[in-house]
A and B are shown apart, each in its own frame.
Chain A
Amino acid sequence: MTMSKEWPLWEVFVRAKNGLSHRHVGSVHAADEKMAIEAARDTYKRRMEGISLWVVPSAAITASDPGEAEALFAPAVDKVYRHPTFYSIPEHIKNI
């Protein structure tokens, strides 16, 4: 079998209903954005799973490196003063 060029990959995001954000559900191959929307509809929305679709070329996504997770996310762990429970307020002070 001779290999021809594959259709590019698109990441699919679905908004389940208004008021919620779009959420990643999977990916499809398609030649262009119009076909990608149609393929995403057929693949991921056969049962009223949502009311809006986004398709994004997978190649356009830059992801953080799990190997650098510590450098990226660990500093946040030290900064407990960013959480309300860091501050002690006497019991009798209300509405705060």
Chain B
Amino acid sequence: MYTTELNDKNKKPAVTPLSAEDPEKLAAFEARVAADDFIEPKDWMPEAYRKTLIRQISQHAHSEIVGMLPEGNWITRAPSLRRKQVLLAKVQDEGGHGLYLYAAAETLGTSRDEMIEALHSGRAKYSTIFNYPTLTWADIGAIGWLVDGAAIMNQVPLQRTSYGPYARAMVRICKEESFHQRQGYEIMMTLAAGSPEQKRMAQDALDRWWWPSLMMFGPPDDNSPNSAQSIRWRIKRETNDQLRQKFVDVTVPQAEAIGLKVPDPDLQWSEERGSYDFGAVDWEEFYAVVRGEGPVAKERMQARVSAWEDGRWVREAALAHAEKRRGARMAAE
């Protein structure tokens, strides 16, 4: 899965500005990044690079973890044992992806607890897509196909991102992501070839998930203030609009192949551009969801916070047990 770029447009960053960095070190850093060299945890880096990465990687991690909720909702109601097995494995993968990413962010000097606290208090964001409900089984198909499909579009270029631990996490994630998309498409394909009611269900899921999936690529380029710097630093490798277009171009034929219709009256193939023209995204809705007004935003955070609070005694007991054993071992030596 993937997180959208969720900068608060009005927030001023409280970070050493680039102009206050040691110019010699900064120049050497910029040159290394420009030459596609990797930056590793102990290397010198500008504070703004560190902060931007912590924000981006932790938001990405939070998205993976919160992303387990809408799909977890259907594990007990999967229509067959095969589907249930697959969905369990997929949701477990999402948990794994979150953990790779938290570990990558920790190499930048933040802690796991700090990141979780930021998520629970609402300071950190996660992908807006997970604030929509999963109403029917077809939504599980649509999520795998569209949401994971959009994620792959975003993540493949990030395998070459400049920060070594992030790039390595992305390599692992991309390897696992393709199964997610294929299992989702297979669900849609099966429903689309089923009874008229099943086909309607598939179409309804596509209708509801199409636009939120396009929003996953983040605001349009002319409204994405940090894009240029992130691209220069190889934290981002293609712009939001470029990725969105790529996604539309590969996904539309996939919908057509199984007899489903993309819910966009303005969608049409442009001979001239060799791409699809498509309608305008409702950015007001996007910003409302970013502000936490998504249909199930509150439920998502409640579920995360109670999982964390309910698990507290387990974390504390495990630690106490480990300390006790260590004490006993030392006494025996």
A: residues with CB less than 8 A from B are 1, 3-7, 9, 25-29, 31-32, 35, 42-44, 46-47, 63, 65-67
Within B61-105, which residues are at the interface with A (CB < 8 Å)? 89, 92-93, 96, 99-100, 103-104
A3 touches B117 (CB 8 A): yes
Minimum C-beta distance from B120 to chain A (A)? 6
A-B contacts counted at CB < 8 A amount to 60
A27–B106 touching, CB < 8 Å:
yes
In the complex where A3-B113, A9-B106 touch, is A32 in contact with B325 (Cβ < 8 A)? Answer: yes
A6 in contact with B121 (CB, 8 Å):
no
> Taking beta carbons and an 8 Å cutoff, which residues of B are in contact with A?
40, 42-44, 89, 92-93, 96, 99-100, 103-104, 106, 111-113, 117, 120-121, 168-169, 172, 176, 308, 312, 315-316, 318-319, 321-322, 325-326
| Cross-chain contact of A4 among B44, B92, B315, B325 (Cβ < 8 A) | B315
List of A residues within 8 angstroms of B322 by Cβ: 31-32, 35
List residues of chain B with CB within 8 A of the CB of A6: 111-113
**Known contacts A4-B315, A28-B103, A66-B43, then 20 further A-B pairs from the complex at CB < 8 Å, ordered by chain A residue:** A3-B113, A3-B117, A5-B319, A6-B111, A25-B172, A26-B100, A26-B103, A26-B168, A31-B318, A31-B319, A32-B318, A32-B322, A42-B92, A42-B96, A43-B99, A43-B100, A47-B176, A63-B42, A65-B42, A66-B44
Inter-chain contacts of A27 with B (CB < 8 A): 103, 106
Interface-central residue, A1, A9, A65, by most chain B CB under 10 Å: A1
Which of B42, B92, B120 counts the most chain A CB atoms within 10 A? B42
Closest residue of chain A to B305 (Cβ to Cβ) is: A1
By a CB distance below 8 angstroms, the chain B residues around A35 are 318, 322
A-B contact pairs, 6 of them (CB 8 A): A4-B315, A5-B319, A6-B112, A6-B113, A7-B315, A9-B106
Which residues from chain B contact A47 at a C-beta distance below 8 Å? Answer: 176
For chain B, what secondary structure do more than half of its interface residues adopt (helix, strand, loop), or is it mixed? helix
Residue of B nearest to A6 (CB): B113
In angstroms, Cα B61 to Cα A26, docked, is 15
B120 touching A31, Cβ below 8 Å: no
8 closest Cβ contacts across the A-B interface? A31-B318, A32-B322, A31-B322, A27-B103, A31-B319, A66-B43, A66-B42, A43-B99
Q: A8 vs B113: C-alpha distance in the bound complex, in angstroms?
A: 12
| Cβ–Cβ < 8 Å partners of B103 in chain A | 26-28
| A4 cross-chain contacts in B, Cβ below 8 A | 312, 315-316
Nearest CB of A to B229, in Å: 23
Task: Give bound CA distance, A34 to B44, whole Å.
Answer: 35
| A33 CB to nearest B CB, Å | 9
Q: Cα distance A65–B42 when bound, in Å?
A: 7
Cβ of B321: which chain A residues have Cβ within 8 Å of it? 31-32
Which of B40, B92, B326 is within 8 Å of A66, CB to CB? B40
A1 contacts B315, C-beta separation under 8 Å: no
Question: In the complex, A31 Cα to B315 Cα: how many Å?
Answer: 8
B92: A residues at CB distance < 8 A? 42, 46
Contacts of B168 in A (CB 8 A): 26
CA distance A25 to B319 in the complex (A): 24
Does the CB pair B318–A7 fall under 8 Å? Answer: yes
Measured CA separation A73–B244 after assembly (Å):
45
Q: How far is the CA of A7 from the CA of B33 in the complex (A)?
A: 34
With both beta carbons as reference points, the residue of chain B lying nearest to A3 in the complex is identified as B113
Complex interface: chain B residues within 8 A of A46 (CB): 89, 92-93, 96, 176
Q: What is the minimal beta-carbon distance from A50 to any residue of chain B, in angstroms?
A: 13
